[in-house]
Amino acid sequence: MGDLAVGARSGHEGPEERPGRSEERPGRSEEPVPPAAEDDVPPGADSGSGDDAGRGGGRDERDDTDGAAPAPRKQRSFWKELPLLIGIALVLALLIKTFLVQAFSIPSDSMQNTLQQGDRVLVDKLTPWFGSEPERGEVVVFHDPAEWLAGEPTADPNVLQTALSWIGLMPSSEEKDLIKRVVGVGGDTVECKGTGPLKVNGKALNEPYVYPGNTPCTVDDGGGQFKVKVPEGKIWVMGDHRQNSLDSRYHQQDKHQGFVPVGNVVGRAVVVAWPPTRWSTLPVPDTFDQNLSAAAPGVLGLAGAVPLVLWRRRRPTVGNTRVSGSRTAG
């Protein structure tokens, strides 16, 4: 249409444009659209013309290109992302092992029947970071405090076991750790006479977790008979299989006198996670819910004595002018 408008305009130039009235009429009929009318054509009205379609550069085509959404980014292949995913998983596993939870294997029968040899337990390592200390009745994992495991054979792991232990999915063969039940904490007096019962601060414990057929205390000359006071910052531990556990009782001659420093405690065992048929939690037994605190009697006695002393001091004295006068002067 634009070409037609230019042709009509050029045909009227020069003096030939002024003939008579009869010649002007054909001139007007040859001009189909005034030049200004081209701007009034709505965009895209002539997008189907042959000239514009052939050139491919029409106005409408430019507008469509400028307004189109950007092409989507090409997604990376799974195999290229796999190393990144593995790296993230390893970092998370390492953080979990270091600060949250770690798996440990039970290598002996000293905690039967609570724990069996070959069980895998999950140990809470988070709460010690917030200042939490072991409590009576908890099953805890702790680093060997004074060569308790001297002479014990060390496993020789393969490459896969070493990798799994590094990320916390298997216990490390290099770490010498033990697992026992906390019986006494700092300030407690723990005592065994005869076959038992075991006493903490003079109170007998009912211990249903002790291995069937065992007595709570062991009659022997190696340490089964004892009475100890636990220092602050340490714990006294014993195995549930009392006649098959080399625990605090049998290390009273070492540098810690059988006590385990709180700083050696890795964490509390909370769940038996493997095998699936053995899955169970490890709660604190009810026998430790009784008031076993060594400081409780003294505190209660002091609390009862203070009101009595105050009452005696404030009671009016009859016939004793010396006391009365001194109190007034004071």
User: Residues with Cβ < 8 Å from 29, sequence gap 6 or more?
Assistant: none
179 within 8 A of 287, measured Cβ to Cβ: no
Residue 180 annotated among the catalytic residues of the structure: yes
Phi, psi of 70 (to 5 degrees): -65, 150
Q: Which among 119, 120, 123, 73 has a CA at the least distance from the CA of 100?
A: 123
Single out the catalytic residue among 97, 125, 180, 199: 180
Phi, psi of 76 (to 5 degrees): -70, 150
**Full DSSP string of 274-308:** ESGGG-EE-PPPGGGGS---SSHHHHHHHHHHHHH
Phi, psi of 141 (to 5 degrees): -100, 135
Cα–Cα dist 88/96, whole Å: 12
Cα–Cα dist 35/9, whole Å: 8
* Strands (DSSP E) found in 207-253: 226-229, 234-238
| Diameter over CA atoms, the chain | 155
Beta-strand pair 226-229/280-281: unpaired
Residue 293 annotated among the catalytic residues of the structure: no
Single out the catalytic residue among 97, 110, 234, 245: 110
Helix (H) or strand (E) holding 140: strand 139-143
294 within 8 A of 188, measured Cβ to Cβ: yes
Residue type present at position 132: S
Using only C-alpha atoms, the chain has a radius of gyration, in whole angstroms, of 46
- HSE (side-chain half, CA atoms, 13 Å) at 202: 6
Tell me which residues are annotated as active site. 110, 180
